[in-house]
Amino acid sequence: MLATATPDQTFPATATKVQAMLGIDDCVAFDVAAVCSGFLYAVQVADSMLRTGVHRRALVIGAETFSRILDWQDRTTCVLFGDGAGAIVLEGQESEEADGRGILATRLHADGRHNDLLYVDGGPSTTGTVGKLRMKGREVFRHAVVNLAAVMAESLVIAGLSSEDVDWVVPHQANARILDATARKLGLPPEKVVVTVDQHANTSAASVPLALDTAMRDGRVRAGDIVVLEAMGGGFTWGAAVLRV
C-alpha cells in the first residue's frame, strides 16, 4: 500500500502502478490518503491485515512530490517542503519466530474541524484543479506539539512501556521546532530524536520512512531497539507506532 497526498493520477491508485513496475501479478494494492500521517495509517492497516493471517507480507510506501502543489510566491510554505519516498516491508510471523520484534502498538486519530489550518485549495470535485498548499503555521505548531506528545504517550501505554524505554523517536520531519518541543513535552533527550528535516525538508508521508532508513543505515537504530514513529498532518490526522526493530 502507498501513502501519498500527491498521487500520479486521480485514479487508479498509484500503488497499482508500483505493483506493475515490480512485476507482481496479483496482490492487494491501494493508496492511503492521510497526508503527513499517511505512512503511519498505512502501517496500522498493514499490521492489522497481517495479524489476520490472510496476508503474509506487506510493502508499505510513503511517497510525495509536494513541489507540484506549492505556491512558489508563498515563502511561508514553499521553503519547507520537499519530494521523496521511503518504504518498509512487514512480515507476519508467529510469536516464537518474531522473538519480541515487530509492531508493539499503534494509535491513530483525526479531527476534521481543523481543515482550514492546513489544506490544498483545490480538487477534482470542487475547483477541478490541483490547487496549492495553504498553511497557518502558528496554529499548526500548537496543535502538533500537544497532539503528538499525547499520541506517543498513548501508544507507549498500549505497548506497556514508558518514555524511559524508548531508544529512538523517528518523527515526521515537519520542522525542528516541533521536534524539539514534542521531545521536551515527553521528557525525552533531543539526542534520541532522529532529525533529517535539514537534509530532506518536510516530505509529508515520505518523511518517517526516510528518517528511519537514514538512522538504520548510519547505525543509530539497531536490532532490538525500541523505536517510536509519529506524525501529524492536514485534516488533522495524527498517530504513533511503537516498534521493536
**Mind listing the pLDDT tens digit for each residue in 195-238?**
999 999 999 999 999 999 999 999 999 999 999 999 999 999 99
What one-letter code names the amino acid at 103? Answer: I
C-alpha cell at 47: 499490521
Task: Indicate which residue of 109, 143, 147, 202 is catalytic.
Answer: 202
Q: How many angstroms from the chain centroid is the CA of residue 13?
A: 18
8 Å CB contact between 71 and 78: yes
Task: Indicate which residue of 78, 109, 115, 172 is catalytic.
Answer: 172
Q: What is the pLDDT of residue 97?
A: 74
Question: What is the overall mean pLDDT for the chain?
Answer: 96
pTM over the 0.85 mark = yes
Would you identify the CATH topology of the domain 1-245? Peroxisomal Thiolase; Chain A, domain 1 (3.40.47)
Q: Is 200 a catalytic residue?
A: no
**Count of H-run helices and E-run strands, the chain:** 7, 10
Residue 43 makes CB contacts below 8 A (sequence gap 6+) with 60, 88, 90, 103, 106, 229, 241
Q: What is the pLDDT of residue 95?
A: 77
Q: What is the pLDDT of residue 244?
A: 97
90-99, 130-139, 145-154, 162-171: the lowest-pLDDT one: 90-99
* Unique residue bearing C-alpha cell 490547487: 131
- pLDDT band at residue 162 using 50, 70 and 90 as cut-offs: very high
Phi-psi region of 130 (alpha: psi -120 to 50; beta: other; left: phi over 0): alpha
Q: What is the pLDDT of residue 55?
A: 94
What is the spatial distance between Cα 217 and Cα 37, in angstroms, rounded to a whole number?
Answer: 23
Side-chain-side CA neighbours of residue 53 (13 Å): 2
pLDDT tens digits, one per residue of 83-110: 999 999 999 988 777 788 999 999 999 9
8 Å CB contact between 111 and 235: yes
pLDDT tens digits, one per residue of 32-74: 999 999 999 999 999 999 999 999 999 999 999 999 999 999 9
Q: Is 147 a catalytic residue?
A: no
C-alpha cell at 147: 497532539
Among candidate residues 117, 111, 174, the one with its CA nearest the CA of residue 147: 111
Which CA distances in Å does 123 have to 72, 126, 132? 19, 5, 10
Among candidate residues 34, 88, 90, 33, the one with its CA nearest the CA of residue 58: 90
Q: Where are the domains of the chain?
A: 1-245
Q: How many angstroms from the chain centroid is the CA of residue 74?
A: 25
**Cross-strand pairs, 90:** 58
- pLDDT band at residue 160 using 50, 70 and 90 as cut-offs: very high
Q: What is the pLDDT of residue 98?
A: 74
Q: Is 115 a catalytic residue?
A: no
